[in-house]
Amino acid sequence: MPAADLVVPDRAARAAVTAAFLANGAAVASWIARIPDVRVGLEMSEATLGLVLLGLAVGTIVALPVAGGAVARVGSRAVTLTGAVVMVGMLPLLGLAPSPPTLALALVGLGIGVSTMDVGMNAQGVGVERTYRRSIMVGLHAAWSVGSLLGALAATAAVRARVPVEIHLTAMAVVIALTVAAAARWVRMRDRASAGTSAPRFALPRGALLPIALICFASAVGEGTASDWSGIHLADVVGVPESRVTWGFVAFTAAMTVSRLLGDRITRRVGPVRVVRTSGLVAAVGFALVSLVPSLPAAIVGFALVGAGLASIVPLCFSAAGRVARTPGEGVAAVATVGYAGFLAAPPVIGVLTEALDLRVPLFLVGVLVLVLTLRSGVVADDGAAGDDAARA
């Protein structure tokens, strides 16, 4: 039987792609939670940190359109596993980087690995969702949040135990590699929707994909801001002890995890349009609370609201893009290319603004951006009806 025709049982394929989301989330969170320690170790200012964090975004944006075309040519299994190998290889280097420039280069490599794996596993998820004929994408992203939460909690324990960054990240790389290796045999060999089609080298958003990409952009800006700057906000604005600087990120991740676990059920009940529109409002309220009330309780509640609000937006955008585009891989990559530009824009812009203004100002502005761009939630309509693809074609 040709590899392209191999059919993996749906439950096994779903479990495998769930493990991929879990591993990807744990890798990203492991790095994010140690940003304050790395900043102190390399003696970086806020502006320098913002430019260094740009490396992760650059790697992400560079790899996304290429990965989308690669999914249609070689299959999402190869793309997922290739990205995982690169991601695991880069993770220990972040703790070993001796200077800001070398750290930025390592982050470029991590971004390439993370985003390549991201496109592959989301294409896998869209394909599995079609066989289930109901929404499961938010649940798959819940696995990413669970992995992110586990990574954040492990990092918190490492900080409290004063484990050096390089040892912590190396240990996490080993655990993540073992997780991916265990799941690899059940990952689908190739997306059936893309098999045998000619594929472009790059996947870019056009037509109906563009407004979906803009909503994804808003959510990515919000997620990147909460992830990268929550610890800095608690350390510099609120002035909490070092042992508590990860609490905002943990609250953000925990709330996102819970919301995503419930997301598919809520989407099937009220529809994706109401979910996205309400999500944008909740996230905006969270950013406003964080920026207007500089205290630890307000930061925890605010970042939790941000996590709960942003939880379902990206997976619903990816699911809609997978239906609109010719193949799931192209749709996911095209939307993610513009959407994840939020990760490219947020770190340097917020870093520069923080040099001139209080960090609370850019946090508030991000909330406004999320609220405005999610008002066009009608473009993700009928997302929960995964089985209606043929009718929409």
Instruction: Quote the CA–CA distance of 52 and 40 in Å, as a whole number.
Output: 13
Tokens (6 digits) for 13: 């394929």
Q: Are 224 and 347 spatial neighbours (Cβ–Cβ below 8 Å)?
A: yes
Closest C-alpha among 281, 108, 317, 304 to residue 209: 317
Instruction: Quote the CA–CA distance of 91 and 111 in Å, as a whole number.
Output: 10
Low-confidence spans in the chain with pLDDT less than 70: 1-9, 188-206, 329, 343, 347, 381-393
Q: Whole domain around residue 341: which residue ranges?
A: 3-194+201-392
Tokens (6 digits) for 382: 């009928």
User: Helices 360-373 and 272-292 meet at what angle, rounded to 10?
Assistant: 170
CA distance to 2, 212, 344, per residue, from 206 (Å): 33, 10, 20
Query: What's the longest Cα–Cα distance across the chain?
Result: 63
Instruction: Quote the CA–CA distance of 335 and 315 in Å, as a whole number.
Output: 11
The contacts found for 168-173 with CB under 8 angstroms, 24 or more apart, are: 168/30, 168/34, 168/95, 169/30, 169/31, 169/34, 169/91, 169/92, 169/94, 169/95, 170/91, 170/92, 170/95, 172/26, 172/27, 172/30, 172/91, 173/27, 173/88, 173/89, 173/91, 173/92
Q: What is the DSSP string of 337-375?
A: HHHTHHHHHHHHHHHHHHHHS-THHHHHHHHHHHHHHGG
Total domains in the fold of the chain: 1
Tokens (6 digits) for 378: 């009608």
Tokens (6 digits) for 304: 């939790």
Q: Determine the pLDDT at residue 64.
A: 79
10 Å Cβ neighbour count for 215?
A: 28
Q: Determine the pLDDT at residue 202.
A: 54
- Domain of 81, CATH number, reads 1.20.1250.20
Q: Are 155 and 28 spatial neighbours (Cβ–Cβ below 8 Å)?
A: no
Q: Determine the pLDDT at residue 148.
A: 84
Q: What is the CB-side half-sphere exposure of residue 10 using CA atoms within 13 A?
A: 10
Closest C-alpha among 325, 318, 95 to residue 220: 318
Q: Are 92 and 356 spatial neighbours (Cβ–Cβ below 8 Å)?
A: no
pTM of the model: 0.75
Q: Determine the pLDDT at residue 203.
A: 57
Q: Are 134 and 205 spatial neighbours (Cβ–Cβ below 8 Å)?
A: no
Instruction: Quote the CA–CA distance of 146 and 23 in Å, as a whole number.
Output: 9
Q: Determine the pLDDT at residue 189.
A: 57
